[in-house]
Structure 1
Amino acid sequence: MKNYTSLYFIGAGGIGMSALVRYFLAKGYRVAGYDRTPSPLTEALQSEGLEIVYDESVALIPDYCRDAATTLVVYTPAIPATHAGLVYFREQGFKVVKRAELLGLITQSSKGLCFSGTHGKTTTSSMAAHIFHESPIGCNAFLGGILRNYNSNLILSDHSPFTVIEADEYDRSFHWLHPYMAVVTATDPDHLDIYGTEEAYLESFAHFTSLIQPGGCLVIKKGIKLVPRVQEGVKVYTYSACDGGDFHAENIRVGNGTIVFDFVAPDGVVADVELGVPVDINIENAVAAMAIARLNGVADDDMRRAMASFKGAKRRFEFWVKRNDRVMIDDYAHHPDELKASIRSVRALYPGRKLTVIFQPHLYSRTRDFAPQFAEALSMANQVILLDIYPAREQPIPGVTSQLIFDKITCRDKELCLREKLLERIKECNFDILLTMGAGDIDRLLPQIASIVEAK
């Protein structure tokens, strides 16, 4: 990086890209970029110094990003190869790298603590980052969600050797990393548009485990299909919420809106750990985060204090309305198993209450591959409002619509709704417990939805 004075990010408003934008702004580089549409995140980045445009016209690239000798170009795999800016930089001989490659470069000289898995990795890595940050050990962190404790997805330290990284399996991005230690939370098949088969998906995770450096370790969810392929000198530990393993929880106490448990490690017990975000799935997430912290010398009291003060990542089981008579929760869940976990957590928190789920499917390919599983998960609700598919990087697939999921949902109270008509539909409804889910752009509507729910 020593020859570069500026960076241009294509897809700057993505959650993973934005952490890198913030990192290089903090290091004093000039940073510009492109994204498709404005968002609260791009507005925040602009206020921090990013020069961003929402038109891919080459004419809008600033002059200081037009010298291949001094500008590094970074892109996300969600950007099509035909993007005008990407084509220009490649034709002009700029060094163009994927986000994951750059992340690998800037973290290879630190002790990378890499959190991977189909689901759970954002919350687990965020918990770990908060634990380390709250201890004298500290850490740097590149996260896949905005951590509410810091209102950022980037944490910097001027003394810590550790970097917490959310390791994304999409497009095999996590193969660019150099883990000192790694966590694998789940390997339920996903991104089959990239991998094709479950076997290829599992092979990608096995390769990821082979990248762990000798002297480090792998912490893996007990019972998942993955067969690790670690190098000699890498220790393997298992974890679970309450199914045993090297690290697990015991003496779990749930009540009065709190969850408290004892964290059990091979070398001792940390008693009375209270979750700052008290939902069932966070017991498992906390065990994994605390396992990595304990393996790297974080003290018991520091772990206990950090877990109690952890506020969670935005869009991860985030409360927008919390009243006795009405609740609204938003969650980023976009895989069938994530939907099931979120719905079960709501059911446990509010037994006997009517649950309405608004779900926006994400990607045509994922809808095609998992329509029956999505329907099974959504059928756990009392009422379902199903939106049209958010395409993200994809072109439509003939015959693939939300109807594929809708037809298989078994709860009686279900309906299809266009996104642009959702707010009007919500005004007509009386909700008890409302859960919004999806990885698309439903989050843009959350303030308005909350206002409507609050006014009822």
Structure 2
Amino acid sequence: MKIKNIHSAYFIGIGGIGMSALARWFHHNGVQVYGYDKTSTKLTTQLESEGISIHFEDEIEKMPDFVFKNSKEVLIVYTPAIPKDHKGFNYLKEKGINLYKRSEVLGKLTEGMFTVAVAGTHGKTTTSSMIAHLLKSGKKDIAGFLGGITTNYDTNMIMNQSDYKKAIIVVEADEFDRSFLTLKPNVAVVTSTDADHLDIYGKLEELKKSFSLFLENVNPSGQIYIKDGLWEEIATKRIKAKPSSYGLNAGDIRALHVQVKDAKFVFDVTLDNKVIKGFQLSVPGFHNVENAVVAIAIANQLGLSDKEILEGIRTYQGVKRRFEYVIQRNDFVFIDDYAHHPSEIKAMLTSVRALYPGKKVSVLFQPHLYSRTRDFAVEFSQSLSLADEVMLLDIYPARELPIEGVSSEILLESIQADEKYKVEKDSIVEYLSNRDLEVFITMGAGDIDKLVEPLKEMFNTEHAA
């Protein structure tokens, strides 16, 4: 596969957040792009409006003619999330036509290019979007492959403005299915290595081993930024790049004097024997301050001035579904968040408590995956207990079949919130109408986001009345 020779590309599962970013990049750089996905979504509609042809029927005759030629000028990309009985994928595979995972293509694309790769079981989407925004606002030419829709640019793909070989690549390095091992970055970030994806790795030790392999792929003359306390857990003698730790009041690079003022996090950062004072971050959360610290360090490394970095952090608006304010009034706050791991939930609710002391915090949570719910049932219950009121939806299965004895109800018993109950998705809007809520959070990685607009409309209508 030679990226420069590709003239046509077909994406099986084009509607995924990572696949769509890659498809957008090829389209932007002059390649004819087609795709398939199971259902039409807001994202696929946007891709179609940009000139990308998409079909939604899994039928051989719907695929473009060029996919059957097995030409070196044709690229066929698939996501591991497609079902095993997918007709198109299996037909092409049986015919011996070359098929590539998204991670393989991304790895090939970044070969020989200056690449910043952000890895971690959580925090990578926000951190990579922060880095991309800082560099772009500082007039650097970048190509940003992001795992979420960044609010500043309303996209998951920030396009290079000149020859892509001259741009800085900022990429979210996904540990799922060990995808990030195809990358060979110049700068690498590890935000967290908490137990997750145990359906893939089996045990935490295997997950951490994968992060070690990721860091072994960093250019020997490159730089590693790793959250304070993690280096000892995954360091190996085969890692040659220089490591630096970061954190809140800890690490080689650290945030100092962190305060909450007018619903913003204000702080200073010490790095390279200097202190940059007066950062203002409008995206709330102590965890987001931590993410900002490493983004600031990378911007400093790549030549941005202190003034440019301060301005970049001040103007950063966040990522959709990452501590996203849906409604923000004096009497009522509605926040939507992607948190689906106990550590993420704890970080989220701890920050909400700091921002809104004395307010009642109500959470509507949709567990994601049967295996994750089973493996972290105790931890989920503990983290959700930071809320005053917890409402649980059914588990979103994603790629899994049900596991006997595993349901949302197994979390309820151990949750220590004042109020806790199981609710039905179909009736939740009516259930929450005329409720006395102060801070309300929708949380989860499944399809809970489809409830955000109906709930927003209901709350606003109720307020107007």
Please point out which of 15, 23, 26 is paired with 1:24: 26
Q: Is the 8 A contact 1:127 1:286 kept in 2?
A: yes
Match of 1:377 in 2: 383
Cα distance, 1:128 vs structure 2 = 0.5
CA distance in 2, matches of 1:46, 1:375: 42
Q: Is the 8 A contact 2:260 2:355 kept in 1?
A: no
CA distance in 2, matches of 1:170, 1:215: 27
Q: Per the alignment, in what secondary structure is the counterpart of residue 186 of structure 2? A: strand
Please point out which of 223, 228, 231 is paired with 1:217: 223
CA distance in 2, matches of 1:218, 1:35: 36
Please point out which of 54, 57, 63 is paired with 1:55: 57
Q: Per the alignment, in what secondary structure is the counterpart of residue 260 of structure 1? A: strand
CA distance in 2, matches of 1:405, 1:34: 37
Please point out which of 102, 109, 121 is paired with 1:99: 102
- 2:130 paired with 1:130: no
Please point out which of 420, 430, 437 is paired with 2:436: 430
The amino acid that maps onto 2:318 is: G
CA distance in 1, matches of 2:257, 2:434: 44
Q: Is the 8 A contact 2:218 2:239 kept in 1?
A: no
Q: Is the 8 A contact 2:284 2:351 kept in 1?
A: no
Please point out which of 231, 234, 249 is paired with 1:227: 234
Cα distance, 1:54 vs structure 2 = 2.4
CA distance in 1, matches of 2:383, 2:153: 33
CA displacement 1:345-401 (0-9 Å, x = unmatched): 111111111111001111111111111111111111111110011111111112211
Deviates more, 1:267-276 or 1:115-124: 267-276
Please point out which of 64, 67, 70 is paired with 1:68: 70
CA distance in 1, matches of 2:99, 2:194: 32
Match of 1:111 in 2: 114
Deviates more, 1:151-160 or 1:246-255: 151-160
Please point out which of 357, 360, 363 is paired with 2:369: 363
Q: Per the alignment, in what secondary structure is the counterpart of residue 320 of structure 1? A: strand
Cα distance, 1:33 vs structure 2 = 1.6
CA distance in 1, matches of 2:304, 2:239: 26
Please point out which of 416, 421, 438 is paired with 1:415: 421
Change (3 A) 1:46 1:430: farther
CA distance in 1, matches of 2:298, 2:85: 41
CA distance in 1, matches of 2:60, 2:280: 52
Change (3 A) 1:455 1:167: same
The amino acid that maps onto 2:220 is: P
Q: Is the 8 A contact 2:122 2:192 kept in 1?
A: yes
Match of 2:202 in 1: 196
Q: Is the 8 A contact 2:110 2:169 kept in 1?
A: yes
Q: Which runs of 4+ in 1 moved over 6 A?
A: none
Cα distance, 1:424 vs structure 2 = 2.2
CA distance in 1, matches of 2:246, 2:69: 49
CA displacement 1:36-95 (0-9 Å, x = unmatched): 222211111111122222222222213343332143211111112321111011122221
CA distance in 2, matches of 1:317, 1:453: 18
Q: Is the 8 A contact 1:205 1:226 kept in 2?
A: no
- 2:92 paired with 1:86: no
Cα distance, 1:137 vs structure 2 = 2.8
Match of 1:237 in 2: 244
Match of 1:77 in 2: 80
The amino acid that maps onto 1:135 is: G
The amino acid that maps onto 1:235 is: K
CA displacement 1:173-222 (0-9 Å, x = unmatched): 00010111101011111000000011101101011110001110111101
Q: Is the 8 A contact 1:209 1:230 kept in 2?
A: no
Q: Is the 8 A contact 1:249 1:261 kept in 2?
A: yes
Q: Is the 8 A contact 2:286 2:351 kept in 1?
A: yes
The amino acid that maps onto 2:376 is: F
Q: Per the alignment, in what secondary structure is the counterpart of residue 240 of structure 1? A: strand
Cα distance, 1:428 vs structure 2 = 4.9
Match of 1:348 in 2: 354
Give identity over the alignment, percent: 45
Please point out which of 182, 187, 192 is paired with 2:188: 182
In structure 1, the gaps of 5 or more residues are: none
CA distance in 1, matches of 2:354, 2:148: 25
Change (3 A) 1:139 1:4: closer
CA displacement 1:88-112 (0-9 Å, x = unmatched): 1112222111111111111112111
Cα distance, 1:122 vs structure 2 = 0.6
The amino acid that maps onto 1:269 is: V
CA distance in 2, matches of 1:365, 1:304: 42
Please give the TM-score of this superposition, normalised by the length of structure 1: 0.96
CA distance in 1, matches of 2:217, 2:117: 11
Cα distance, 1:21 vs structure 2 = 1.1
CA distance in 1, matches of 2:304, 2:97: 43
Q: Per the alignment, in what secondary structure is the counterpart of residue 285 of structure 1? A: helix
Match of 1:34 in 2: 36
Cα distance, 1:252 vs structure 2 = 2.3
CA distance in 1, matches of 2:258, 2:434: 40
Change (3 A) 1:232 1:176: closer
Match of 2:297 in 1: 291
CA distance in 2, matches of 1:50, 1:330: 30
Change (3 A) 1:404 1:54: farther
The amino acid that maps onto 1:334 is: H
Q: Is the 8 A contact 2:186 2:218 kept in 1?
A: yes
Match of 2:143 in 1: 140
Q: Per the alignment, in what secondary structure is the counterpart of residue 401 of structure 1? A: coil
Q: Is the 8 A contact 1:68 1:92 kept in 2?
A: no
Q: Is the 8 A contact 1:431 1:453 kept in 2?
A: no
Q: Is the 8 A contact 2:366 2:448 kept in 1?
A: yes
